[in-house]
Structure 1
Amino acid sequence: MKIIAIIQARMGSSRLPGKVLKPLGNVDVLTYNIERCRAIKGIDEVIVATSTLSQDDSIVTWCEEHQVAYFRGSEGDVLDRYVQCAKFYKPDYVMRVTSDCPFVDYEMASEMVELMIKERKDIVFIKGQLPRGLAVEIISYEALLHINEVGQEPRHREHVTYYAYEFIEEFTYATYDVPENRNVPNLRITLDTKEDLIMITEVVKYFNDPLVSSVDVIKFLKEHPEISEINAHIEQKPVI
């Protein structure tokens, strides 16, 4: 069984341009994201999927300098970008990761891979409420191709797996129950605004470890509300 992780990344961001290459401790946001994806057990390859726009040339340069595999595709049609990238690698399963989540939970992701290997379903749905910024998604290559054929609304093209959540009856699925120590939905550990960057930088200053457990990050933020409150007021953009 071949499982790849595809990290969607681009420099364009209305609220925080260039966020994926912002400095984070001694490295940058993308380094944190990739190192944590590489720590996911069962992943055969980690690929950065960016766009063909010239503004994303810097991501390609970064990947070449850091010897990270990359793919370039549509900027707006993220689903097509994933499909075209996956076609090149011909995996059995694809793990979807977003580059603006520097603390993606590689331990939980490893358990999701293990569950998928055991269950062999189309997709794994997460049951519970994680802090924003820790989750990944794993879907079969065949299910991804199906979504690409039938999911034609703008939200389906932008959010890759959204069609599966709307039309769950078309897919087989396994359920991953969020552990109690991660069931903290009020925390925001993602990067979309300058406030997010300030908060995440404080976490990095404390741990200074790209592979710090997400559980420890959650514990730290619960014990230091003055830090978690820095970006608590930020509202996520709605799916349209």
Structure 2
Amino acid sequence: MTSHTLLDSNTHRDLRICVDAGADLGDGVMATLVVPSEFRRVQADFPILFRRETGRELFFAVALLGFETGENLFLDGARWDGGYRPLSLAIQPFLIGRPPGGEGSGQVHIDLAHPRIAQDGDEGVRLFDSEGRPTPFLDAIADRLGELDEGYRGSGAFFDALAEHELLEPFTFEVMLDDGSLHSLVGFHIIDEARLRALDAAALGALHAAGHLMPIFMALASLSQLAELARRKNRRRRDG
């Protein structure tokens, strides 16, 4: 259940946000949306995989955080155990809204039903000061929202290019854990490295000129993080 509304300095003057990490705060997810413009930062910590939107041919990218539904191996109690926090998680409980009709600049909206809304008036971080001015925390959130919105809006051309050159292939990954249990990832795609290597100079040049080649390379590089994710899973099983 969500309750989205336009953020307002009068109505929400005293609102506070819980900024700790935690499964009960919305971080308990196996994967989270990422956009090509953040792939360079994402690949240092997480595998980048691709999925189709349900019932559609369109793809989107995710950072893989675990191997099971609701599992985030980068959560250590109330601590985020990673060098980077993907934008789609870092902006919660905020989102970009649009004026009626969908035209005009993006607006900062907030989900008032989100678990990050502080229930105790003394906990969490304020969004506005006593004069109704945005706090540095809210300014930082607005920057992240803008970056995510711009990245999402610009991602269509990236996925069109992948489709044009047939650069995505189905991906199944099986990991055998130290305790003998087997976990399988299905329903994902990855960059087809062989097809990428086979592209001629003109195609590669066009991808580079459009800014698509770097995120493609970052997505490929990120697959080395699958082994680290499996190690995290083994540590979690071993340590309880």
Richer in helix (by share):
1
TM score, norm. by length of structure 2? 0.30
Richer in strand (by share):
2
Higher relative contact order (CA 8 A, sep 6+): 2
TM score, norm. by length of structure 1? 0.30
> Considering only CA atoms, is the larger Rg found in Structure 1 or Structure 2?
2
